[in-house]
Amino acid sequence: MISLKLVKQLLSGFAVLLLMSTIVYASMPASAQSSNGDLVIYAYDSFASWGLKNATIPEFEQMYGVHVEVRTYGDSGQVLGKAIMEKKDPQADVIIGVDNSLLQKALDNDVFEPYTPENMSSIPKELDFDPSHHVVPFDYGYVALVYNKSQVSQPPQTFDDLIKPEWKGKIILEDPRTSSTGMIFLLWSIAANDNHFNSSYWTKLSKNSLTITSGWDSAYEMFTAGEAPIVVSYATDPAYWVEYYNSTNYGASFLKVNGKYAGYLQIEGIGVVKGAKHRELAERFVDFAISPQFQKKIPLTNWMFPVNSNAALPDCFRYAVRPETNLTIPAKILAEKHDEWLQEWQSAISSGGSSNSPSLPAAWILLAILAAIFVTGERRKR
């Protein structure tokens, strides 16, 4: 005998499933079928979140009658990581955001196909950071300490100032492994120290900072939300605050090295992925990225300087600061030491890293005790 109750329950269960799958189907169609664009671009978050994407991509789509898909994966380090992982079967055609600190890693892993755009001559020689043109520059800027003037009257002046107690918990840094901004800041500190990584300095700095975020975006979000009055960001930030909020409440400052305000230049590049499925279009996009129509959008969205000398700067860029001298680490040393510095950095900042932390011995003793309990418990069972 089939009970009516059971039938009802089965039916209602079925109805719920049906309803759910309908909802799901209705919201899924484009995802379930592959929606690959005619051109796939990998970029860092702020390319999309700060507006350069919307200011330029539609124009390119119209020019060539194609659909461009931009995928963002955190900060530049993560984007390049994704590309390296997919090297054997590249998903991206163009990668935006490989800068002078990541260049060597990109070259070592053979991610890019060399390509020299036709309009390359409009870029000043000194910005052409990859002579082999696996990557060509599209914007540049100085990494700087950005601070809230209402909370900070006199920003830190030197790298040593940063580890003073008065700045405890007031600075937000970025992880150089994931964030290119963080990487440039790390290189800046190394360049200021005669190209040597100072482990004890970084242990102190990491303890003195509020936090080390994985990307510039989240660091800046915390800064604007008032979590800390100082953030490692860009020298153009004051211009942003003037333009959008008519506020001169935010300053940017460099750090003194040998008595002079010294900065470290970041040059961001764009390149065609080796083995790209849409190579032709990818090359057109690189051309487009250094053309004046793309370049003139950079200042007010990406808040960096355009590399194309023909692109005019907006008025607010008067507020962007420039350093007295520019530090660089020679490409050869950078290529040699890059990975080593990152490893040393990781050891220096990891919270068990300092000798006075109880965590390491305590953890091992604990693990031993628990393993002992585990073993004796096992024995008792038998």
By CB under 8 A, the residues from 352 to 371 that bind another protein are 352-353, 358-364, 366-367, 370-371
What crossing angle do the helices spanning 180-191 and 76-85 adopt, rounded to 10°?
A: 110
Q: Is residue 313 within 8 Å of residue 299, measured between CB atoms?
A: yes
Tokens, residue 167: 């700045």
120 or 222: CB nearest another protein: 222
φ, ψ of residue 329 to 5 degrees: the values are: -105, 125
Q: How many CA atoms lie within 13 A of 124 on its CB side?
A: 11
Nearer to another protein, 310 or 343 (CB): 343
Is residue 95 near another protein by the rule CB under 8 A?
no
**Is position 45 an interface residue for another protein (rule: CB under 8 A)?**
yes
Encoded amino acid at 41, one letter = I
Given a contact cutoff of 8 angstroms between Cβ atoms, the answer to whether 127 and 137 are in contact is yes
Q: Please work out the total of residues on this chain that contact another protein, with binding judged by CB under 8 A.
A: 81
Coil/strand/helix, residue 347: helix
Q: Rounded to an integer, what distance in angstroms lies between the CA atom of residue 45 and that of residue 208? A: 27
Residue selected from 82, 204, 274, 279 as contacting another protein according to rule CB under 8 A = 82
Subset of 100-129 contacting another protein (CB under 8 A): 109
**Min dist. Cβ of residue 164 to another protein (A):** 18
Report, in Å, the least distance between residue 362 CB and another protein: 6
Bridge partner list, 271: 95
Binders of another protein among residues 324 to 343 (CB under 8 A) are: 342-343
Of 61 and 86, CB closest to another protein: 86
Residue 349 in contact with another protein, rule: CB under 8 A: yes
- Cα 31 from chain centre: 27
Please list every residue from 144 through 203 that binds another protein, using CB under 8 A.
169, 175, 177-178
Per-residue contact string for residues 284-313; x = within reach of another protein by CB under 8 A: ------------------------------
Region 203-242 residues binding another protein, contact defined as CB under 8 A: 206-207, 210-215, 217-218, 220-221, 224-228
Q: What share of the chain is helix, strand, coil (3-state, %, to 5)?
A: 50, 20, 35
Compute CA distances 77 → 43, 55, 177, 184, 342, whole Å: 10, 24, 6, 12, 12
Is there binding between residue 70 and another protein (CB under 8 A)? yes
- Contact by Cβ (8 Å): 296, 306: yes
C-beta closer to another protein: residue 245 or 364? 364
State which of residues 12, 35, 193, 328 lies at the interface with another protein (CB under 8 A).
Answer: 35
- Smallest gap from Cβ 117 to another protein, in A, equals 26
